[in-house]
Amino acid sequence: MFKKIALCLFSIVSVSCSPNVFVVDEAGNPIVDAQIRPLTRSFNYPPVATDKKGSAHIHQDLPTIENLLVSKKGYVTPAPVNYNLPKPITVVLKRK
């Protein structure tokens, strides 16, 4: 019984911590160290950097995240991305 509960909890934690945002270039290559800043109406969270796969996990918290501002030096910063899109969200950055 304990093993089933532990496995269930592990599954929930694994899913809740899996990447839900991917940042890629125009060719679909991952962009490492892109900065993703979660935005709310009244508060901006600290940025989260993408890993070597161009991925990051953005945790929905209070106040509720509405948009993501994605940037990386050498790339054009697009308009804020709606965080309520189906996950995972893929953001494409274009080179300057």
Render each residue's pLDDT in the chain as its tens digit; 96 residues: 544 443 333 434 434 579 999 999 999 999 999 999 999 999 889 999 999 999 999 998 888 999 999 999 999 999 999 999 999 999 999 999
How far apart CA 21 and CA 36 sit, in angstroms, is 9
For residue 6, tell me if it sits in a domain: no
Residue ranges in 1-96 assigned as alpha helix (H): 2-16
* Domain that includes residue 58, residue range: 20-95
Q: What's the pLDDT at 1? A: 55
CB 19 within 8 A of CB 87: no
Tokens representing residue 90 in the block: 């893929």
pTM to 2 decimal places = 0.81
Tokens representing residue 84 in the block: 């309520």
**Cα angle, residue 18 at apex, residues 14 and 20 outer, rounded to 5°:** 150
List the CATH number of the domain containing 28.
2.60.40.1120
For residue 7, tell me if it sits in a domain: no
Number of domains in the chain: 1
How far apart CA 7 and CA 16 sit, in angstroms, is 14
